Structure 1
């Protein structure tokens, strides 16, 4: 393995765009939808992208293990010995894929020491690529245009912009938004699917993304790396950065924002008052 993970950025970006092309081949046709044990949808596109990414990453770094949403059954006994590995969601936002609204992404992250040190997020319908790596500026590239550096915006105290899940809103989030409206002025709400939500904060289009509901580690890792590289943070409600390769692969509730303004007292106040 290369000692500088950022040297993998170009290769991983190319793998993500190839996976996106495979997804689009299926997206533009009629496709079947199966359902996993938890009731979430699964399509041929998930599996095609998973197989492509797995094969490509094994060629790039044959010594590194890989955990994907589509290979989640690897035991904790095996995973507990991993220090550095790839964490992949080959099609994040399958509901958005099935609904054909375009808001789905390919997520590839490199985890080292329980932290995402590299992340690539690709949105194939929009041909938008986000990258992030420790020590390197986060970037956004659209439709083979110029590579643009991105950074979080620092909340100014005026009307905030809040990102909300399009498919998983929930009562806790509704109450948090009500509280933000009461204390910070009427918030602008951006509804979005998949890891796009974290990327909107990373590129300065939103101030905060509170996720007060269940997600898995592969849903957040790649975009988490992008947010970090853009100067933001992804923390649980105790203010600690999200960790990866836990025994339980579910994330706690979390907040994405810039590194200066502390939204947690407000979010926790909402949670306590509503007994969540």
Structure 2
């Protein structure tokens, strides 16, 4: 684990910056949602809206102005052909994770701003605009949720004796691989929601496992992984190692987001 005092930057100040920009992007997204928007299908068949673009422009401008020495990489810029050399430390931005949810009028979409250091997520801010919630985490220091009730420190929970509370992607609810993964496990509840909101529910102890068997990109997971790990959880690849960053094309393998470790739990 990275020693915060040994870092060549002020991690707490960078977390505050990410939190502020996630908040501001959430407000932009809510304004666009209230006023109506058009959904466009990109070349990779995924949707994009003006909310995605406006939020990313605002976040990247803020990061680059405040931290010019730290590269900032955004989903929509990459989709448009812009290449930014990542370096040892860099920002990964998903300005609107869960665009399908947003475009369909549902509430489970997020703004994700994560900082990667030496191929590992160090800190992250994740806003849930429709819920007026902001989750933040700094690995080695802790994780927090801010909502209408104020600021609360959050931690993952030990799995309940009556079975696991599992969240899966709404768009992969019928994936046969999920049924195979669940075989032999004691499951108390299985729910399906979209976006990185699933990480938040694990981080705050409302769910125990989120198995992700479909494709994701590194900007989808950087901020929420930092929050889960700061809250005491894990995000593991198929080998059981922590999900790492700087992979070719920014593609993630299947992974498993968990709360507190289970004894003898080695199946990923």
Answer yes or no: is 1:154 the counterpart of 2:155. Answer: no
Displacement of 1:174 in angstroms is: 3.1
Q: Which residue of 2 aligns with 1:190?
A: 191
- Pick closer, same or farther for the CA change 1:159–1:34 going to 2, 3 Å: same
Q: Which residue of 1 aligns with 2:4?
A: none
- Secondary structure of the 2:239 match is coil
Q: Which residue of 1 aligns with 2:3?
A: none
Q: Which residue of 2 aligns with 1:96?
A: 101
Q: Deviations along 1:50-80, whole A, 9 cap, x unmatched?
A: 10001111111011111111112345xx63x
Distance 2:43 2:114 in 1: 25
Q: Which residue of 2 aligns with 1:12?
A: 18
Question: Segments of 4+ in structure 1 off by > 3 A?
Answer: none
Q: Which residue of 1 aligns with 2:261?
A: 260
Does the 8 A contact of 1:22 with 1:45 survive in 2?
yes
- Secondary structure of the 2:249 match is coil
Q: Which residue of 2 aligns with 1:62?
A: 68
Q: Which residue of 2 aligns with 1:270?
A: none
Does the 8 A contact of 2:116 with 2:245 survive in 1?
yes
Does the 8 A contact of 2:156 with 2:203 survive in 1?
yes
Displacement of 1:101 in angstroms is: 0.7
Answer yes or no: is 1:71 the counterpart of 2:77. Answer: yes
TM superposition score normalised by structure 1: 0.89
- Secondary structure of the 1:197 match is helix
Distance 2:243 2:47 in 1: 26
Q: Which residue of 1 aligns with 2:217?
A: 216
Does the 8 A contact of 1:104 with 1:194 survive in 2?
yes
Distance 2:87 2:169 in 1: 31
What is the total number of aligned residue pairs between the two structures?
258
Q: Which residue of 2 aligns with 1:43?
A: 49
TM superposition score normalised by structure 2: 0.91
Q: Which residue of 1 aligns with 2:87?
A: 82
Structure 1: any 5+ residue segments left out of the alignment? 268-276
Does the 8 A contact of 2:207 with 2:259 survive in 1?
no
Structure 2: any 5+ residue segments left out of the alignment? 1-6
Displacement of 1:113 in angstroms is: 0.4
Distance 1:174 1:138 in 2: 31
Q: Which residue of 1 aligns with 2:118?
A: 113
Question: What is the root-mean-square deviation in Å for CA atoms of aligned residues?
Answer: 1.7
Displacement of 1:36 in angstroms is: 0.8
Distance 1:236 1:254 in 2: 4
Does the 8 A contact of 2:212 with 2:254 survive in 1?
yes
Distance 1:44 1:223 in 2: 23
Displacement of 1:258 in angstroms is: 2.7
